[in-house]
Structure 1
């Protein structure tokens, strides 16, 4: 056995050292990094990105090695509280409410604290941790998300770190599911399964999902499972995970029309009906008139009140506020009212104009819908482009890999005492992405993809 281990080490010496080095860097990232320290943040991130690239390059023929490496990376933050996001405090708050039999959509944390509610474990810690922005708004997390939050609080016995550990494990299982179905899906279409590791080993996924506990990974698990079932011709069964993905995050609703040509009129009508019924069943336990009003108003705020790391919107804002008398608050209200309709128009355009007869064609249309949606949005958090990382392997485009690197520049907004965006860094982020997209679009066979090949 020692001889076999020695032989294995000699064959994989540098990749093993890269894995160990990455674990040290991830430990520093999760346990010894302040969000305001952007120099350290970007240094660690770029180093981790390079090591991930080299690991995929050197070990793409050995998926078990990359699989184990990805699991080891995800175990590093198991005992760490997220250090780049405070959203997890609200997750646990909502979970405590649901576990105590309360509807998390009916009262804001401010309302509950004003009433002196003591049924929530660690109420003061959670309330202070989530921040004033979250505390004064109703929950915007869909019903299945709330179930996962409640599971975390149930198994933690009211302990904050215990709940965080459960959330970490949920993220780990979701990512394993994405890798499993993603590789099977790529294999089904005779595409290189190694592209799935650009999700599994990507530092953006490790930082934002495994580290900061955003639930995009859980949504994407159900979404990729849906695509796999559709590839197998099991469209009726696929409605279940698709509905689940919507009940975790609403984004898959935007992509639902694109399946129309792929399924055909009769099957798509049945698929849409099944999905809608399942979503309504998921919403039913929380449903009330107040739920509809509160949830609609909260979701509406994301279109008309918030702005962060925007691309085209920032250019529009700069142009109009410098050369016209329009005020910033007037602009965001106007853009916020237009964006949903423009997004719907894009979704319908990509539903009926491209062929969309095969799943790779469908995935490419979905990729462009989301990309354009993010480009016109007023708010693009760093974890949003992660969705693109599960779609691009089925297409000929590779720009999501580059975006997963440059999006980290948005964290320059946290360098000071208050959140203040640095326009230069936003310009650098999107210039790189726009430039690479242009490069790929002008290459018939997407020669730019070779940059990321072995």
Structure 2
């Protein structure tokens, strides 16, 4: 046994040392980093990204070793509170409401704070943590997310730390599912299965999902599960995980029209109908006459009120300022225009693209989501994780570049007030758009993006 350990050390000495260094950096990230300390944040993140590249380069065929590392890095965050996002306070709040039999879509947290009828454990602490913006709006998280919040709050015994641990276990299981189905799909589209480690070991994924507790990983697990079933001609069964994916995050709704070409019109119609019926089934436990109004009111804020880390919108805003357009009027008009453009883009790719192979289908999903994020006035770092997963099954790698540069958006939190740095945004988006355009020319995608309908 000692000889085997010694031999393994000799063969893998450099990757083991890199792994230990990564562990130290993730520990520092988790327990000794404030969001306002942008210099340390940037240094740690870029170092981890480089070390991730080296680990994959050295050990890309050593699946057990890299799988173990991915799990170990996530477990470093197990008992710490997220330090880059306060969304988890709302997750726990909504989860506690669920466990009390209270519909989280019907009440504002600020209203319940003073309520004598509904007493939320640690209510004041949670509301102070989620901050006034979240506390003064209705919940915008879809039904399955709400059920998971409730499950994690229950498993955590109503305690903050217990709930955090439960959420991290759920997200870890989702990531393991992505690893499993991701490798199978990579083989199906004739890609090297080691590419899945660009998700599983990516610092953006580990810090934003494992560290800051965003549920994109759960959504992507169900999406890859659905695509795996479709790849194996089990498209009827695929309606279940596809609906669950939408019920975690609404993003996959944009992909449904693609299946009219991918499966054929009749099967595509059945597929879409069943998915929507299943999504509606997850809404039924929360239905109330006020549900739609409250949910849509909160959802519309993301298009017409909020702005963060935008690219095209910032260009439009700067041009608008030159002709004296008021920013608050501009974003409302811009927000109403985005859904129209995205719907037209989805229709274009759904009707004119063949989407008759898994590779082309996923590539269409990638282009739909990329255009949506390019246009969006709000692009939080964890949003890019969806692009990152999809790109692994295609020939495009601009989301990988984005996963490295999007850390620059955190420069907005350097001071007491959130103030974006146009210099850092320019660096971020020049890198992303520059590489994207390079890849379009490299793959001659200006012509093949909308191939002839056959």
TM (normalized to structure 1)?
0.97
Aligned residue for 1:451? none
Runs of 4+ in 1 over 6 A off after TM superposition: none
Whole-angstrom CA distance in 2 between matches of 1:372 and 1:336:
14
Aligned residue for 2:407? 408
Aligned residue for 2:108? 108
Whether the 8 Å CA contact 2:260–2:266 is kept in 1: the answer is no
Alignment gaps of 5+ in structure 2:
446-454
Whole-angstrom CA distance in 2 between matches of 1:400 and 1:252:
17
Whether the 8 Å CA contact 1:309–1:378 is kept in 2: the answer is yes
CA apart distance, 1:341: 1.0
User: Where do 1:382-401 residues align within 5 Å?
Assistant: 382-401=381-400
Aligned pair 1:167/2:167, yes or no?
yes
User: Where do 1:1-400 residues align within 5 Å?
Assistant: 1-116=1-116, 119-321=119-321, 323-400=322-399
Question: Does the residue aligned with 2:141 lie in a helix, a strand or coil?
Answer: coil
Whole-angstrom CA distance in 2 between matches of 1:290 and 1:362:
37
Whether the 8 Å CA contact 1:122–1:158 is kept in 2: the answer is no
Aligned residue for 1:443? 442
- Summarize deviations over 1:364-416 as a string: whole Å, max 9, x none: 11101100100111100111110011111211111111000000000000000
Bigger Cα displacement from structure 2, 296-305 vs 182-191: 182-191
Whether the 8 Å CA contact 1:105–1:291 is kept in 2: the answer is yes
CA apart distance, 1:115: 2.1
Bigger Cα displacement from structure 2, 257-266 vs 303-312: 257-266
Question: Does the residue aligned with 1:442 lie in a helix, a strand or coil?
Answer: helix
Question: Does the residue aligned with 1:120 lie in a helix, a strand or coil?
Answer: coil
CA apart distance, 1:118: 5.3
Alignment length, in residue pairs? 445
CA apart distance, 1:116: 4.1
CA apart distance, 1:444: 3.4
CA apart distance, 1:114: 2.9
Whole-angstrom CA distance in 2 between matches of 1:121 and 1:38:
33
Whether the 8 Å CA contact 2:95–2:146 is kept in 1: the answer is yes
Aligned residue for 1:424? 423
Whole-angstrom CA distance in 2 between matches of 1:302 and 1:444:
34
CA apart distance, 1:193: 0.7
Whole-angstrom CA distance in 1 between matches of 2:329 and 2:152:
41
Whether the 8 Å CA contact 2:112–2:118 is kept in 1: the answer is no
Aligned CA distance change for structure 1 residues 117 and 315 (closer, same or farther; 3 Å): farther
Whether the 8 Å CA contact 1:33–1:41 is kept in 2: the answer is yes
Whole-angstrom CA distance in 2 between matches of 1:414 and 1:325:
28
CA apart distance, 1:337: 0.8
TM (normalized to structure 2)?
0.97
Whole-angstrom CA distance in 2 between matches of 1:444 and 1:154:
50
